Structure 1
Amino acid sequence: MAATDASPTDIPIEHPAWARRVFESESAEPDLDHVQRIGARFLGLGFIGYPIVLPAAIASSGSVTASWWVPLSIVLSVGPGILLIIFSFRPGTSWLGPLALVTWSGFLLSILLWFWAWTGATLTDPGDVAQWMVAFCGMPSMVLMLVHARLGVISLIVSSVASHLSQQLGRFGELTSDLAFEIMWSVVFTSVFLAVVLVATRTGRHLDETREDTYRTAANVAASSAREVEKARFDAIVHDRVIASLLAVEPGRPDERLAAQARSALEELARVPGPGGAEALSRGETLGRIRSAAADLAERFEVQVLGAEAGADSLRDAGRDRVDYPVEVVEAVIEAMSEALRNVVRHAGPDAECAVIVQLAADALSMAVVDNGNGFDPDSVGPGRVGIAVSIRGRMARLLGGRAQVSSREGRGTTVQIGWERP
């Protein structure tokens, strides 16, 4: 029979929530803080764990010291470890520097008090330990290494010398020629772990600096892009609204529609764009705005709707599935259309006929501005003419899903296709 059960190694092990929190931290904090916090938590567990796993060494140390030293040394070891764990769950790491100094000071005080507590006796078994704290003399140095590399190295040398001095006195009653080798071995061996801590903290610091540089670069790019977009918006408004209004001014009493167009241009120049995307327009509202914009330019412009059975009333969404278009899409399409119609008025000729053909689909909004006027050669348009480049093509290119195409031949009229598809 074929085995269908997954092997035990394939089954992910879910650790209890309290166990995960021991070695996890806030994801939003800087990487250096995260490394320091988790490192302090891990080392704090080490300070608590050493007295648990070294009962024999503690007992042999007590045979050559006064009775008060062993419990005091355990308190000075376990106490800072507990504080490291507790403080590692607090926000920030400003506590780590002072607490690292307290940890090393407690350890060093225990070593120095050993000389006072030593009874002068020596161990009968050379394999026993006279100073049980010599087993983890590098632990306080690793805590200091989390905040200051140079202090970590200095503390390691001082702790190793003091620990092995007391160790030799308690074992042999005097200092032997092996003292230098034992100190050197302790420093070299523990330096490997200090190097790991140093690499971890420098990596966290480098990640933070890289992230800050990335955010700063992204902010500069976004600001530059926003300035370019706003400049393009002003260029389009000045060309489409301001210059068009000025060109339409004639001697005599001004047309009310021209005055309204001028007021609209001033309002658009003063408007500060806000976060869009929430407002939407229905089919009927969209068509109403298109027809109103075309009528503001000239009554002769006819707006035709593809797929409409009974004109605008059939597009009021009554009894149909409602279809909405983002307001910024409708505004961009209408502005591009208005520029195309202004070009018809200025360049197509007085006898040119023009129609605006609109299609309002569920996921697309498109139109074509078609005239049978003079036409032109698109390749001959100079770069300084911003009407087509900025007000039509540029405006639709800045719109996600937007597009615009201008087709024309001299004497054959012009067709401007404007479209948007829902992303």
Structure 2
Amino acid sequence: MRRIGARFLGLGFIGYPIVSPAAIAMSSEITAGWWVPLSIVMSVVPGLMLVVASSRSGTRWLGPLALGTWCAYLGTVGLWFLAWDGSTLSDSAGNAQWMIAFCGMPSMVLMLVHPGLAALSLLTSSGLAHVSSQMGRFGHLTADLPFEVLWSFVFTSVFLAVVLVAIRTGRTLDETQEDTYRSAANAAAATAREAEKARFDAIVHDRVIASLLAVRTGRPDERLAEQARSALDELECVPDRYDAAPVSASEALRRIRSAAAGISERIDVQVVAIESPGEAGDHVEYPFDVVAAIVEAMSEALRNVMRHAGRGADCGVIVQLAPDALNMAVVDNGEGFDPEAIGPGRLGIAVSIRGRMARVDGGHAQISSHPGRGTTVQIGWTRP
């Protein structure tokens, strides 16, 4: 939202000289020849910088650029007093200071980063602009100056309030999203615990208690002994239910391709290190939990690409199958980001990728990214 706001305001700085030729002509009548071209440049250049910078990811550039825009405006209006030749407009209703038309624009840019500075900017910019305008119209300050400054301040404050509400709404949405992710993770964990408890309770009720109730004095029935052994075996398997049969390399590759296609048909999956999934891949097997963790971590990385890399970003998955290792890289050429700037509430990387692979013996995950240079997520497992 800050980037979109900066882009919109930058176009405003560029557009004001285009729609103000009459006011610019009036200002040129009472100022030195160098001031009008300078004032146009000092309006257009900050606007261009805002538009160009808004295409970059992140907003670290916004604070310094907003301060620079305000200083450029104040400096240009201040130079008007040096360029003024002391005469006044023939029509006192005209515009002696054409830049008065957008005296609130620098404060709107500052509102994207600091509301307090925005209010100060509005007061100083509008005050200086109206002083120069009255000097050029009348040759002196009139009693209307406070009312003109107040009107400019109140009028522009409406737009500043709109910007402030938009920024706060975006921040609230970010916080709500983080809370939702956290709640969803807690709910999923609670559901998994309840499901496991329900399975355990069912075995205890249907097998263990039934076997105990069937016990009678005397020599036990051999079938009852077998039933008891079976119940004990099933109880031992409950905690390890997810340690299912090993997965062959060809089956692991099929699951990887299926998960990638389920997220987007445009994702290309390339395989290296084995000749044929149907031949060399049949005798290579990986633990079930390893394949499940890698597929889920890859899916989260691909979902992040779809959400954050940008509309035109390309993405590919490179899979390396080896007898004692299973590695992959999810690569995109999107907008990228700063991994160190990710907040603790963002569960996608911390929990769904790094955390998931850390829970697998021999698993690892690494994220490499830079703003504007895409992202590479390396996921892998090496047999202990």
Instruction: Give the count of matched residue pairs.
Output: 240
Residues 41-74 of structure 1, C-alpha deviations (whole Å, 9 max, x = no match): 2111111110000011112212222222211211
Preserved contact between residue 44 and residue 84 of structure 1 (Cα < 8 Å): yes
Cα distance in 2 between the residues matched to 1:266 and 1:164:
84
Query: C-alpha displacement at 1:137, in angstroms?
Result: 0.2
* Corresponding residue of 1:267: 237
Q: Choose from 34, 55, 58 the match for 1:68.
A: 34
Residues 274-332 of structure 1, C-alpha deviations (whole Å, 9 max, x = no match): 9xxxxxxxxxxxxxxxxxxxxxxxxxxxxxxxxxxxxxxxxxxxxxxxxxxxxxxxxxx
* Corresponding residue of 1:147: 113
- 1:198 maps to amino acid: L
Query: C-alpha displacement at 1:173, in angstroms?
Result: 1.8
Q: What is the 5 A alignment of 1:94-109?
A: 94-109=60-75
2:181 is equivalent to residue 215 of structure 1: yes
Cα distance in 2 between the residues matched to 1:264 and 1:230:
13
Query: C-alpha displacement at 1:252, in angstroms?
Result: 11
- 1:265 maps to amino acid: L
2:96 is equivalent to residue 130 of structure 1: yes
Query: C-alpha displacement at 1:244, in angstroms?
Result: 6.0
Q: In structure 2, do the counterparts of structure 1 residues 149 and 77 end up closer, same or farther at CA, with 3 Å as the change threshold?
A: same
* Corresponding residue of 1:156: 122
Cα distance in 1 between the residues matched to 2:120 and 2:19:
27
Cα distance in 2 between the residues matched to 1:216 and 1:133:
49
2:201 is equivalent to residue 235 of structure 1: yes
Q: Choose from 184, 197, 202 the match for 2:168.
A: 202
- 1:83 maps to amino acid: M
Could you say which structure has the larger radius of gyration? 1
Residues 378-398 of structure 1, C-alpha deviations (whole Å, 9 max, x = no match): xxxxxxxxxxxxxxxxxxxxx
Query: C-alpha displacement at 1:101, in angstroms?
Result: 1.3
Cα distance in 2 between the residues matched to 1:91 and 1:110:
30
Q: Choose from 142, 147, 150 the match for 1:181.
A: 147
Query: C-alpha displacement at 1:243, in angstroms?
Result: 5.7
Residues 213-234 of structure 1, C-alpha deviations (whole Å, 9 max, x = no match): 3333333323222221122222
2:80 is equivalent to residue 114 of structure 1: yes
Cα distance in 2 between the residues matched to 1:253 and 1:230:
31
Cα distance in 1 between the residues matched to 2:194 and 2:227:
31
Cα distance in 1 between the residues matched to 2:207 and 2:99:
84
* Corresponding residue of 2:307: none
2:135 is equivalent to residue 165 of structure 1: no
Cα distance in 2 between the residues matched to 1:196 and 1:266:
62
Q: What is the 5 A alignment of 1:16-27?
A: none
Q: In structure 2, do the counterparts of structure 1 residues 99 and 77 end up closer, same or farther at CA, with 3 Å as the change threshold?
A: same
Secondary structure of the residue aligned to 1:270 is coil
Over aligned residues, Cα RMSD in angstroms? 2.7
- 1:118 maps to amino acid: W
Preserved contact between residue 42 and residue 76 of structure 2 (Cα < 8 Å): yes
Secondary structure of the residue aligned to 1:134 is helix
Preserved contact between residue 245 and residue 262 of structure 1 (Cα < 8 Å): no
Query: C-alpha displacement at 1:207, in angstroms?
Result: 2.6
Cα distance in 2 between the residues matched to 1:163 and 1:62:
16
Cα distance in 2 between the residues matched to 1:273 and 1:138:
65
Residues 348-383 of structure 1, C-alpha deviations (whole Å, 9 max, x = no match): xxxxxxxxxxxxxxxxxxxxxxxxxxxxxxxxxxxx
Q: What is the 5 A alignment of 1:383-402?
A: none
Cα distance in 2 between the residues matched to 1:228 and 1:261:
21
Query: C-alpha displacement at 1:160, in angstroms?
Result: 0.7
Identity of aligned residues (%): 65
Secondary structure of the residue aligned to 2:239 is helix
Q: In structure 2, do the counterparts of structure 1 residues 43 and 234 end up closer, same or farther at CA, with 3 Å as the change threshold?
A: same
- 2:240 maps to amino acid: A
Cα distance in 1 between the residues matched to 2:226 and 2:22:
102
Cα distance in 2 between the residues matched to 1:211 and 1:256:
53
- Normalised TM-score (structure 2): 0.56
Query: C-alpha displacement at 1:265, in angstroms?
Result: 3.4
Preserved contact between residue 13 and residue 47 of structure 2 (Cα < 8 Å): yes
Cα distance in 1 between the residues matched to 2:206 and 2:153:
77
Q: In structure 2, do the counterparts of structure 1 residues 192 and 252 end up closer, same or farther at CA, with 3 Å as the change threshold?
A: closer
Secondary structure of the residue aligned to 2:86 is coil
Preserved contact between residue 211 and residue 227 of structure 2 (Cα < 8 Å): no
* Corresponding residue of 1:325: none
